[in-house]
């Protein structure tokens, strides 16, 4: 495939995601309602508990990250879920495309939507709770966001894989999996408070390192050396692994007939 | 050269607890489809038609056997092959919130089309499939017939050399079916496309297909042109008489007469070979003083072949 054909196929999925997102009302809830409710409720809780400014920042970083990652992850998951819901799965796999087109196109839209959510929540946090996302510096913020969106990509591809393997039974993983990862990555607490086996698992989650590195700029001692490099390396490894797993799941779906079962 | 050469294709599906429920969808299918032909796959529900079509279209992988499509192995060269084939299904479904033209454009992009070539292709297909009035209508607001035409448009986005049509007129009104059939015939005539279709409608198969294979229980039971199938199955020719007096049940005993029936003042005889038996029948009727007012000879309908094979 030429590079131009590669880009066109990626654009096809990105455009499809954009069109679907712009025409379905439940996307509004994903983009605005739940993230805003999340930040407001957690922010108000920090006031009730009389947390100081660094502690409030610590908790709000986790809350904002949760929303941005979830929106991005869901968009990647939708690459397969749309076809499951509309029973049109076989048509795209009849075309000469690779999983990279499918996931990259939807990830690009996921990043755009994730950024929108992030900007909105950052503004809300600043106005309501005095938390400034730019206090860490623009470069560090960009790295943190990159880490969040790479995490969303990996989880989204893993969800696509589960759906290809188990069909609609795995649909719930689109909403559940990101929460599981965030619990391990220390969304509202440092991973040092996790019990030993969970802490070991947390060390394998890239987001753990991105949260750690970003929070270090708000006065919290870093628990990991070279946190950003480790996070990026783990993300790259998981991206490769999750895409390989998705390829295997699609091959299996072609063998077992799962691909046809998910089509009209 | 064949467009499709499938040999001893076996496909088994396993489902349920410990994958114990086993369905033998194909039990050793061998099939050749010449280039440029319209080839029909007929058979009752669950015969294995869609499974076979899906294997040929690279959507399923066979458990055993070899399948060569347009000179490529369907498993090893699947990606190369996907550029050159496409498929439309009778109960096709697409994303509910996309407009008709957006659906065609989305699939066209998956084949690398962009810019002016993309717009031109979308316009051409919208026109070819008479979708002009619906191009900006959302998919879930389209009627069944329009959805079917959209599925056909989508299947032509890459101008395929080989087109698979799975029940292309399923559930359509008769007038729409006629238009879809005409379009399928045009595709072969104008573009030299090889078309493989499955259908439940015998008339459709007889009207469109150069060759037909009858599949049942995962095996091809018979194949050939419609006329050859009728001969192979040997269910005989039909001779319809109008007689005076109107009955002559005794002719059922004559050599070569397989069945005798009376309805609406007519006598219907099924004989093994009308050319051979008709003179003797006329002679016998004349000898018994029966006046033959009218006589017509017809071949059996493909439907009768289907019923015979599906039995």
Q: What is the ipTM of this complex?
A: 0.91
Question: Cα–Cα distance between A256 and B3 in angstroms, integer?
Answer: 26
Helices (H), chain A: 3-23, 26-28, 34-48, 53-86, 89-94, 99-129, 138-166, 173-185, 196-202, 206-216, 227-256, 258-261
Give A-chain residues touching B91 at CB under 8 angstroms.
Answer: 264
Interface touch A260/B50, C-beta < 8 Å: yes
Show the tokens assigned to A239.
């991206």
- Residue tagged 């610590």 (tokens): A58
CA dihedral B48, B54, B60, B61 (to 10 degrees): 80
Interface touch A86/B96, C-beta < 8 Å: yes
Give A-chain residues touching B109 at CB under 8 angstroms.
Answer: 8-9, 11-12, 15
Judged by a CB distance cut-off of 8 A, whether residue B250 touches chain A is no
Reported as a single tens digit per residue, the pLDDT across A5-36 is 899 999 999 999 999 988 887 777 777 888 99
Judged by a CB distance cut-off of 8 A, whether residue A3 touches chain B is no
> In the prediction, which pLDDT does A263 show?
82
Nearest chain A residue to B58 by CA distance is: A94
The kind and range of the H/E element at B22 are strand B21-34
Show the tokens assigned to B85.
């084939």
Domains and CATH numbers, chain B: 234-310 (3.30.70.100)
Residue B2 and residue B33 in contact, taking contact as beta carbons nearer than 8 Å: yes
Interface touch A254/B59, C-beta < 8 Å: yes
- Mutation site for A-interface testing, chosen from B11, B91, B97 by largest number of A Cβ within 10 Å: B97
**How close does chain B come to A172, measured CA to CA in Å?**
20
Reported as a single tens digit per residue, the pLDDT across B219-238 is 998 888 887 777 666 667 78
HEC sequence for B254-298 = CCCEEEEEEECCEEEEEECCHHHHHHHHHHHHHHCCCEEEEEEEE
Mean pLDDT of B101-115: 96
Question: Cα–Cα distance between A173 and A158 in angstroms, integer?
Answer: 9
Domain range for residue A20?
Answer: 3-261
> In the prediction, which pLDDT does B32 show?
95
Give A-chain residues touching B49 at CB under 8 angstroms.
Answer: none
Mean pLDDT of B140-162: 93
> In the prediction, which pLDDT does A81 show?
92
Give A-chain residues touching B83 at CB under 8 angstroms.
Answer: 96
Number of Cβ pairs closer than 8 Å across A and B?
Answer: 97
Question: Cα–Cα distance between B181 and B161 in angstroms, integer?
Answer: 18
Nearest chain A residue to B93 by CA distance is: A88
Is the model more confident about B74 or about B177? B74
Is residue B31 predicted with pLDDT exceeding 90?
A: yes
Domains identified in chain A, total number:
1
Question: Cα–Cα distance between B239 and A40 in angstroms, integer?
Answer: 86
Residues of chain A with pLDDT under 50: none
Is the model more confident about B171 or about B179? B179
Maximum pairwise Cα distance, chain A = 58
Judged by a CB distance cut-off of 8 A, whether residue A248 touches chain B is no
Q: Pairing mode, if any, of strands B72-73 and B162-166?
A: unpaired
Judged by a CB distance cut-off of 8 A, whether residue A10 touches chain B is no
> In the prediction, which pLDDT does B265 show?
81
> In the prediction, which pLDDT does B234 show?
60
Interface touch A254/B60, C-beta < 8 Å: yes
Q: What is the mean pLDDT of chain B?
A: 89
Question: Cα–Cα distance between B246 and B291 in angstroms, integer?
Answer: 9
Interface touch A91/B112, C-beta < 8 Å: no
Judged by a CB distance cut-off of 8 A, whether residue A20 touches chain B is yes
Question: Do you find a cis peptide bond into B245, omega within 30 degrees of 0?
Answer: yes
Q: In the structure, what pLDDT confidence band is assigned to residue B311 with cuts at 50, 70 and 90?
A: low
Tell me what percent of the residues of chain A surpass a pLDDT of 90: 77
Question: Cα–Cα distance between A1 and A97 in angstroms, integer?
Answer: 9
pTM attached to this predicted model: 0.85
Interface touch A9/B93, C-beta < 8 Å: no
Using only C-alpha atoms, chain B has a radius of gyration, in whole angstroms, of 24
Residue A144 and residue A62 in contact, taking contact as beta carbons nearer than 8 Å: no
- CA distances to A164, B57, B156, B222, B254 from A96, rounded to whole Å, are 18, 12, 14, 34, 63
Mean pLDDT of B122-150: 93
> In the prediction, which pLDDT does A182 show?
85
Show the tokens assigned to A246.
């998705």
Give B-chain residues touching A4 at CB under 8 angstroms.
Answer: 112, 114
């Amino acid at each position: 495939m030429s590079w131009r054909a590669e880009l066109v196929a990626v654009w096809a999925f990105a455009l499809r995601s954009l069109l679907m997102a712009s025409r379905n009302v439940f996307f509004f809830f994903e983009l605005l309602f739940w993230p805003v409710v999340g930040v407001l409720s957690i922010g108000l809780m920090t006031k009730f508990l009389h947390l100081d400014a660094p502690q409030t920042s610590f908790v709000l970083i986790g809350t904002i990250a949760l929303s941005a990652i979830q929106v991005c992850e869901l968009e990647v998951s939708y690459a397969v879920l749309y076809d499951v819901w509309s029973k049109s799965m076989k048509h795209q796999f009849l075309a000469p495309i690779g999983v990279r087109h499918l996931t990259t196109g939807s990830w690009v839209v996921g990043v755009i939507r994730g950024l929108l959510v992030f900007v909105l929540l950052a503004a809300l946090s600043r106005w309501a709770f005095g938390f400034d996302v730019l206090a860490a510096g623009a470069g560090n913020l960009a790295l943190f966001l990159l880490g969040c969106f790479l995490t969303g990509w990996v989880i989204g591809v893993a969800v696509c894989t589960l759906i290809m393997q188990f069909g609609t039974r795995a649909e719930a993983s689109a909403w559940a999996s990101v929460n599981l990862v965030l619990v391990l990555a220390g969304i509202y607490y440092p991973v040092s408070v996790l019990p030993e086996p969970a802490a070991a698992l947390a060390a394998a989650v890239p987001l753990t390192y991105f949260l750690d590195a970003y929070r270090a700029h708000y006065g919290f001692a870093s628990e990991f050396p070279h946190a950003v490099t480790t996070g990026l390396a783990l993300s790259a490894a998981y991206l490769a692994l999750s895409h390989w797993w998705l390829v295997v799941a699609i091959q299996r779906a072609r063998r077992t007939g799962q691909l046809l079962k998910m089509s009209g | 050269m064949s467009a499709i050469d499938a040999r001893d294709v076996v496909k088994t599906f396993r489902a349920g607890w410990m994958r114990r429920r086993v369905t033998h969808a194909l039990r050793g299918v061998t099939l050749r489809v010449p280039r440029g032909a319209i080839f029909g796959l007929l058979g009752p529900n669950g015969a294995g038609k869609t499974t076979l079509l899906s294997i040929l279209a690279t959507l399923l992988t066979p458990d055993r056997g070899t399948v060569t499509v347009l000179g490529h192995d369907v498993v090893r060269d699947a990606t190369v092959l996907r550029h050159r084939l496409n498929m439309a299904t009778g109960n096709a479904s697409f994303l509910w919130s996309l407009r008709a033209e957006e659906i065609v454009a989305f699939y066209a992009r998956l084949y690398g089309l962009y810019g002016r070539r993309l717009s031109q292709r979308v316009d051409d297909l919208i026109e070819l499939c008479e979708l002009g009035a619906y191009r900006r209508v959302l998919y879930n607001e389209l009627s069944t017939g329009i959805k079917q035409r959209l599925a056909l448009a989508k299947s032509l986005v890459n101008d395929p050399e080989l087109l698979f049509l799975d029940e292309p007129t399923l559930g359509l009104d008769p007038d729409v079916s006629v238009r879809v059939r005409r379009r399928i015939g045009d595709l072969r005539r104008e573009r030299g496309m090889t078309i493989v279709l499955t259908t439940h409608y015998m008339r459709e198969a007889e009207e469109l297909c150069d060759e037909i294979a009858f599949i049942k229980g995962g095996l091809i039971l018979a194949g050939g042109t419609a006329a050859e199938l009728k001969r192979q199955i040997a269910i005989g020719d039909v001779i319809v008489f109008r007689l005076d007096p109107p009955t002559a049940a005794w002719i059922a005993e004559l050599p070569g007469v397989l069945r005798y029936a009376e309805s609406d003042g007519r006598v219907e005889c099924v004989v093994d070979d009308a050319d051979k038996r008709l003179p003797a029948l006329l002679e016998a009727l004349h000898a018994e003083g029966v006046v033959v007012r009218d006589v017509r000879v017809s071949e059996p309908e493909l439907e009768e072949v289907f019923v015979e094979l599906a039995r």
